[in-house]
Amino acid sequence: MSSRSWPSSPLSAAGRAFTLLVQPPTPIGFDGRGFEGLPDEILPLERLRALLLAPQTGVEVRDAVWRELVVRARRDGPAWVVAAVGIALPGLRHVAGLLAAGWRGDTRDLDAELLTGFVARLRSIDVEPPRVVGRLIDAGLRAARKARDADSDAQLIHTDAVDPIAPVAPWDHPDLVLARAVIAGVLDADEANLIGATRLENVTLVEAGARLGITASLASSWRQKAERRLLDAIREGDLAFVSLRPRPQRRSTGATRQRVAATQQRVAGGSRHLGTTHQRVAVAGGVNR
């Protein structure tokens, strides 16, 4: 294959490498025997990818397969690294599209950082927790965002103007950050309301605690622990692209529905005073850092 036919886009090049890897006469396959939910046979990698993307494939099966893929990538050399990238390619392309929205630079640079972050994380990820491939893609996303944000900062126009300047996109309202944290299970509704009231609305801990029926000292302890979890989630990118839209196909308990509804109501009310304090912008800016 001539060098001129090789794709210039990093993601397209990864796709081409995966295609070549699975071609005869020596394609590598994945042994589905022993994996509940997979056919009891040696699976071509492109078929394995299709099975992992199928809605009927459970998350437990996906995680079990990805634990094995990570082990193979570490143990069996570059071919399995290419295999892991190729199987994750649909998710990587989706994230690349989100990163490219509103981006005026060369998207190939972002794609390269995305792949670099993904492959680097293959060497160190803890495979025991769930969402193995999700956390690999998150690592690539953080690497690409870091490069994008650094480039955006370098292109800022410095002036002597005293009027407010909008932050570099993407940004988010802090109430939306809290709402996403509730949906992602990082916070519960009481914790989100406690943080929102005392940090964004100048409500004292005494007043906020009284609303919850607890003492000010206990409210302070709750807030400290909740904010620590929130900070960790923001740093790890766990709140990135968490949808605030309801998902009717997933059943939730009445308590969960009430929590989400209460938080979304706070979001709607908080939008009236969007951008009124520097603290809100600072909290929101952390979502995508």
Average pLDDT score over residue span 192-205: 86
Angle, CA 108 vertex, CA 105 and CA 131 arms, to 5°: 110
**Looking at residue 237, what is its pLDDT?**
75
Q: What is the pLDDT of residues 23-53, one digit of tens each?
A: 988 789 999 998 999 999 999 999 999 999 9
Instruction: Find how far residue 30's CA is from the centre of its chain.
Output: 27
Least confident of 84-98, 114-128, 213-227, 239-253: 239-253
Is the confidence at residue 120, as pLDDT, over 60?
yes
**Looking at residue 90, what is its pLDDT?**
95
Average pLDDT score over residue span 209-237: 87
The residue ranking higher by pLDDT, 231 or 39, is: 39
* Overall pTM > 0.95: no
Distance between CA atoms of residues 92 and 84, nearest Å: 11
List the chain domain ranges: 7-154, 174-288
Per residue, the 3-state secondary structure of the chain, as one string, reads CCHHHCCCCHHHHHHHHHHHHCCCCCCCEEECCCCCCCCCCEEEHHHHHHHHHCCCCCHHHHHHHHHHHHHHHHHCCHHHHHHHHHHHHHHHHHHHHHHHCCCCCCHHHHHHHHHHHHHHHHCCCCCCCCCHHHHHHHHHHHHHHHHHHHHHHHCCCCCCCCCCCCCCCCCCCHHHHHHHHHHCCCCCHHHHHHHHHHHHCCCCHHHHHHHHCCCHHHHHHHHHHHHHHHHHHHHHCCCCCCCCCCCCCCCCCHHHHHHHHHHHHHHHHHHHHCCCCHHHHHHHHHHHC
User: Would you place residue 16 in the very low, low, confident or very high pLDDT band (cuts 50, 70, 90)?
Assistant: very high
**Looking at residue 263, what is its pLDDT?**
47
Distance between CA atoms of residues 285 and 173, nearest Å: 8
Is the confidence at residue 282, as pLDDT, over 50?
no
Least confident of 148-157, 176-185, 238-247, 260-269: 260-269
The most confident of the ranges 112-121, 167-176, 191-200, 224-233 is: 112-121
Is the confidence at residue 217, as pLDDT, over 70?
yes
Q: What is the pLDDT of residues 64-97, one digit of tens each?
A: 999 999 999 999 999 999 999 999 999 999 999 9
**Looking at residue 277, what is its pLDDT?**
34
Instruction: Find how far residue 115's CA is from the centre of its chain.
Output: 15
